[in-house]
Amino acid sequence: MKFIVSGKNVEITEPLRNRIVKKLGKLEKFFNEDTDVYVTMSVEKSRHIVEVTIPFNGVVLRAEEASDDMYSSINMVIDKLEGQIRRHKTRLKKRLFDGAIKTEYFEQGTSREEEEEHEFKVVRTKKFSIKPMTVEEAILQMNLLGHQFFVFFNSDTEETNVVYKRKDGNYGLIEPEF
C-alpha cells in the first residue's frame, strides 16, 4: 500500500506519520501493494480528526473519526475501516476483485454473525418531478424541506445535480458524469 499523509492545521510529525502507517499496515493483508491510501489529519478547535480514503476498482472505502487526541482518533478510524471491510467482505469479493484486494484474508476469523450477508433493503421509493433551478435555489429548497440532500435540474448547466449538507456546515454539489 502507498500512503499519502497530509495535515490541515496540524504538522505531521514523524512519530504521527509512523503511527498511522503502522496502524494502517494491519489492513495491508486485504489490499495489494499498489493500492493508494489517502490520510488527512486535521485539528479544528479541540477536535483531532483523522480521515482515511482508500479508492480501488471504482469503490471508495472511507472512514473518519474525531476525538480530543490524534492517537485516539487514529485507533478509532482503523477499527472503523476493519469493521467496514469485514461487514462488506462478501459483496466486495463478488463485485470488485480485479486484483485490487487479496481475498484469502476474508476467509479467516469470521464469526457466524459476520457470515450472514445483510442485504441492503430499500424501505421507501419516491418519484417526483425535478424543476430547473440554480444551485442557490436548490440549497434553499433543501433547507426548507429539512433534508440533507436535494436532487435538482441545474438551470445553469442543464444537468441533473445533487446538493448536500456537509458535516462542517457547508454545502457540496455533485455533478454526475455519464
> Which pLDDT does position 27 carry in this prediction?
84
List the beta strands (DSSP E) in the chain. 2-8, 36-44, 47-56, 59-67, 132-133, 149-154, 159-165, 171-174
Q: Which of 68, 77, 103 is nearest to 24 (CA)?
A: 77
In this structure, what DSSP letter does residue 138 have? Answer: H
> Which pLDDT does position 58 carry in this prediction?
64
Output the furthest CA–CA distance in the chain (Å, rounded). Answer: 54
Residue 115 CA, chain-centre distance (Å), reads 23
Which grid cell sits at 64? 473518519
Cell 436535494: give the residue.
150
Q: What percent of the chain has pLDDT over 90?
A: 48
> Which pLDDT does position 112 carry in this prediction?
46
Digit-coded pLDDT (tens) for 120-137: 788 888 887 788 999 999
Q: Which of 143, 144, 146, 178 is nearest to 161 (CA)?
A: 178
> Which pLDDT does position 133 carry in this prediction?
92
Contact 96, 116 (CB under 8 A): no
Domain annotation for the chain: domains and CATH numbers: 2-115 (3.30.160.100), 132-174 (3.30.505.50)
φ, ψ for residue 130, nearest 5 deg: -105, 135
Is the pTM for the entire model greater than 0.85? no
Digit-coded pLDDT (tens) for 54-97: 887 667 788 999 999 999 999 999 999 988 887 777 666 665 55
**CA–CA distance, 78 with 21 (Å, rounded to integer):** 11
In three-state secondary structure terms, 140 is helix
Confidence label for 35 from pLDDT (cuts 50, 70 and 90): confident
